[in-house]
Structure 1
Amino acid sequence: MLKEVKRNFVMYEINGFIYTLTIDNPPLNVLTDELLSEIDDVINEILAQPICRVLIIRGNGEKAFVAGADINQFPTLNEESGKHLVEKGKEIFDKLENAPFPVICAINGFALGGGLELALACDIRIAEQKAKLGLPETGLGILPGYGGTQRLSRLIGPGKAKKMMFTGAAISAEEAINYGLVEEVVPNGESYEASVRLAKQIVNNAPLSISNVKAVVNRGLDVSLAEGQELETKYFASLCLTQDMKEGVKAFMEKRKADFSRR
C-alpha cells in the first residue's frame, strides 16, 4: 500500500507499516509557524492511525534537513509571545518523543536550531557525511527553546551539550557520532534509504514490544535505576498477556516468520 497526503509545506506517505513525513519548505526547510502547525496536524493524523509502526522524518532537497526556526518572527517577540512560541514547538516535539512507535530522523544536511531540536525528539538519527548539527541560538541572544537544552544534555552529557550551546558552533557528522548525537553516518544522499532499511528491520518485530521498549526506556531516564527496573518488570509482565507474545514464541518454535497483530 502506498498513499500520499500533501499539505503546503509537509507531506506524508504510507508504505505498509512505514510512514514518511517530509518537510518541504525550500531552500532550507525553515520551521515557520505555519509549517509547525502542519507538522502538528500530520502527527495527530498519524497517531490516530494504529497501522503506523515506524515514522521516518526527512527534509526535502539536498542542502538541509531543517536549518532552524523562522528568524523573521523574532524581532516582535516579547515575554508572552516568546513563551507561546516555544511551548507550541515543545508540545509538537513531545508528541514525537512519546509516540507509541519509533521515530527515525534522516539528516541530509543542516540540522540547526529548531531543526536539531526536532531531530533530538526522534528516537534514532541517521546523518549523511555532509551534515552539520548545531544549536546557534546564543548568537541570537536567546537559547534553544524547543527542548534542546534538556534533550541534548541527556543524550550526550552536560559538558558536550554546553560546549555546543555556549559556542553555537555546528559540528560535523563524524563529530556527532563520536558525541553519541547520531546513531549512524552514511554516504551523502543515502540517509533516507538507510532509514527505510532500519525501519524494515524494526517492523519485523512485535509492535507492542517495540512500543513498550520505547516507553520504558524514556520513562526510565527520569527515575532511579531501581525504579526503572520496576517499570521494566511491569511492562514485561503486561506483554506476557498479549497475543503477539504467544505468536512470537510459537513462530520461533515453528521456525517461521511471526505474524504480529498488535494485540
Structure 2
Amino acid sequence: MPNWETVELNKTYSDENVYVIELNRPEAMNSLNTKMAIELIECLTLLEHQKDLRALVLTAKGEKSFCVGADLKERKGMTNEQWKQQHDIFEEGYELLRNFKFPVIAAVNGFALGGGMEMMLSCDLRYASEHVKVGLPEVKLGIIPGVGGTQLLPRAIPVGLAKEMLFRGNQVDAQKALEVGILNGIFTKEELMSKTIEIAKEIARNAPLSLQSIKKSIQTGLHTDMNTALSIELDQYYKCANSDDRLEGVLAFNEKRKPNWQGK
C-alpha cells in the first residue's frame, strides 16, 4: 500500500471485508488541500480494485474536526485559473466517493463544514459523535457549495430545511442533524468508531453483488422518473437473480449456514 501523508488506509478489518480511510491533517482541522484531494483520489482508485472490500468507512484523525472544507490558507493568493484547477481535483475526488461501488459510511468525529459536510453527504450512511456540528457556510464567503452541497442536502432532508441551512450558512448540532435526516445515528465520541465498524461489518456480510446493485439502483434512480427508475431496479434485480451468489444464498439459507459469497 502507498504511504500517503494526508490520508491513512487502515486494513485492520480487511479480513471482515471492511476498510477504513482516515483524513490525516488534524493540525489543520483536516481541511482539504490539494495534496489531500490527490491522495484521496489515489486511495479510492486503489480500493475500487480491492477484491476483499465490501464496505468502506471514512473518518478523520483527532476529535475536533472531521473536515472543515477547503484549506483557505492554501487558496490565499491563488489566481482564478489555479483555483479552477484545484477545484477540478476536488470534484474528481468527491465524484469517486459518491460513485464508489460499495457502501461508504462516514464516521464524523468533529466539525463537518463546507466541503467537509459535502464529503459527509457524499457517503451513503453518516454517523457522528454527540459533539459534532455540521454546516455549509459558503454563502458567508461569497461563494456557494461547489462539490454537491446544493444537490445532496435537498435529497437528504426536506427542501425547505436545506434552503434554510444554505441561505443562512448556519451550523446545526448532531441532535438536530439526526432529527432532520442528515445523520443516521449519533454515538459518544468513545463509541463512534466501534459502533460504525460494527455497522460496516454487518453490511459487509451481505452479498457483494446485491450491495452494488442496491447502491446503483438508488444512485441512478433518484435522478430520473419513476418508470425509468423501476426499470433500472429490474435490470439490477435480474443481474442478482442470475448470479451464482443468488444460488448460494438460497442454499445457505436452507442448510442453515453462512453463505460463501463469490461476487459473481
Mapping of residues 3-22 of structure 1, within 5 Å: 6-14=3-11, 15=13, 16=15, 17-22=17-22
Letter in 2 for 1:244: D
CA distance in 2, matches of 1:108, 1:189: 10
2:86 maps to 1:85: yes
Deviation, structure 1 residue 95: 0.9
CA distance in 2, matches of 1:120, 1:80: 27
Deviation, structure 1 residue 5: 5.4
In 2, are the aligned partners of 1:5 and 1:11 still within 8 Å (CA)? Answer: no
Q: 1:76-133 CA deviation, whole Å, 9 max, x = no partner?
A: 3454333333332121111111111000000011001111111111000001110000
Equivalence for 1:98: 99
Equivalence for 1:29: 30
Letter in 2 for 1:52: L
Mapping of residues 57-72 of structure 1, within 5 Å: 57-72=58-73
Q: 1:184-235 CA deviation, whole Å, 9 max, x = no partner?
A: 1111232211110001111111011001000001111001111111111111
Mapping of residues 204-243 of structure 1, within 5 Å: 204-243=205-244
Q: Secondary structure at the match of 1:22?
A: strand
Letter in 1 for 2:70: A
CA distance in 1, matches of 2:131, 2:185: 13
Mapping of residues 83-232 of structure 1, within 5 Å: 83-232=84-233
CA distance in 1, matches of 2:197, 2:173: 23
CA distance in 1, matches of 2:177, 2:229: 28
Q: 1:194 to 1:169 in 2, by over 3 A?
A: same
In 2, are the aligned partners of 1:136 and 1:169 still within 8 Å (CA)? Answer: yes
Q: Secondary structure at the match of 2:57?
A: strand
Q: Secondary structure at the match of 2:229?
A: helix
Q: Secondary structure at the match of 1:31?
A: coil
**TM-score, normalization: structure 2?**
0.94
Which of 143-152 and 85-94 deviates more?
A: 85-94
Could you list the runs of 5+ residues in structure 1 that have no partner in the other structure?
none
Count of residues in correspondence between the two structures: 260
Q: Secondary structure at the match of 1:12?
A: strand
CA distance in 2, matches of 1:179, 1:81: 37
In 1, are the aligned partners of 2:34 and 2:89 still within 8 Å (CA)? Answer: no
Q: Secondary structure at the match of 1:65?
A: strand
Deviation, structure 1 residue 242: 0.8
CA distance in 1, matches of 2:135, 2:144: 12
Letter in 2 for 1:76: G
In 1, are the aligned partners of 2:130 and 2:189 still within 8 Å (CA)? Answer: yes
In 2, are the aligned partners of 1:107 and 1:128 still within 8 Å (CA)? Answer: yes
**TM-score, normalization: structure 1?**
0.94
Q: Secondary structure at the match of 2:50?
A: coil
Identity of aligned residues (%): 34
Where does structure 1 differ by over 6 angstroms across 4 or more consecutive aligned residues? none
In 2, are the aligned partners of 1:5 and 1:13 still within 8 Å (CA)? Answer: no
Deviation, structure 1 residue 147: 1.3
CA distance in 2, matches of 1:148, 1:80: 22
